[in-house]
Structure 1
Amino acid sequence: MSDSAPGPLRRLADLPGVDDLELKALMKPRLADPDLRDEHPEVDAVARAAFGLSLAEAEAVALPADWPDPLRDLHRRSPAELVEAFEAEGWDVTDKRRKPLRMLPIFALPLALAARGVAGQLPFVAEPDHPTTDWGASLKAEAGRFRKR
């Protein structure tokens, strides 16, 4: 991924299962605890669906030598630092109120690996063909002006 991503940020919450897991973490905060992830197999299942690799597989990947500094030691970064690092990579990792997702500490490494093409993969998202415009309304207004002449 490039350092300056054009266009809108891609949302972590839009990946398969992430938003549902985020809602569950709201009700059961222990679900978002990285130390307790082995007790919640659904977290690993969502990681595999969203990033193409399990959490253990992500941890086993050797980071490339040119790995950017903001993405090094993701497990030691604060949620605010993670938000900033991922925004630089073209990702929105916040909720609707712009707070870091509860599941972000768990999903930070697999997201970084998949987004940079090091390991795993992200689900395909088609680019829009062209920007939507309201050309019909402008034609109607122009036709009205023409008739008045």
Structure 2
Amino acid sequence: MKPAFADPEARREFPEIDQLARDTFGLTADEAAQIPDPEGWDGIDIKSMRDQADQFEREGWDVTDDKRRPLRILGHFSHPLWLALRGVAGTLPFAPEPDATDPALTSLAAEAKAFQRDKR
């Protein structure tokens, strides 16, 4: 990654940043900025990148590097991700399909029950 990608103005110079955001979340950072905050919005998208990374982690999203620092380009993607994550606009990538099977009926659960009954 080019270090210049992290600059807030980089989206003008590198249109691939906006294209990646659109492909991944269904909207760009500029489009996300045009969407009015819903009632009760906590302003998470304007907090520090560290605070956002911590909150993303609580939501099940790792947006840090291998040293646990927020990604340098997080500023380009955090607002679209927050909107998608909270169901306001856009889409989430890699969202798991709802589990149609009852976990209690899996073979692992059945084996666990059999193990618990076995009193040898």
**Partner of 1:95: helix, strand, or coil?**
coil
Q: How far apart are 1:123 and its partner, in Å?
A: 2.3
Match of 1:92 in 2: 62
* Aligned residue-pair number: 107
Q: How far apart are 1:84 and its partner, in Å?
A: 1.7
Q: How far apart are 1:126 and its partner, in Å?
A: 2.7
Q: How far apart are 1:78 and its partner, in Å?
A: 2.5
Which runs of no fewer than 5 residues in structure 2 stay unpaired? 109-120
Does residue 1:68 correspond to 2:42, yes or no? yes
Matches within 5 A, 1:1-149: 24=1, 28-69=2-43, 71-72=44-45, 74=46, 77-126=47-96
Deviations 1:84-103 (A, max 9, x none): 22223332211233221111
TM-score when normalising by structure 1: 0.60
Deviations 1:98-138 (A, max 9, x none): 221111111110000111111111124335776996xxxxx
**Partner of 1:85: helix, strand, or coil?**
helix
Relative distance call for 1:89 and 1:125 in structure 2 (3 A) is closer
Identity %: 47
Per chain length, whose mean CA-contact separation is higher, i.e. which structure has more relative contact order (CA < 8 Å, sep 6+)? 1
Distance 2:76 2:107 in 1: 36
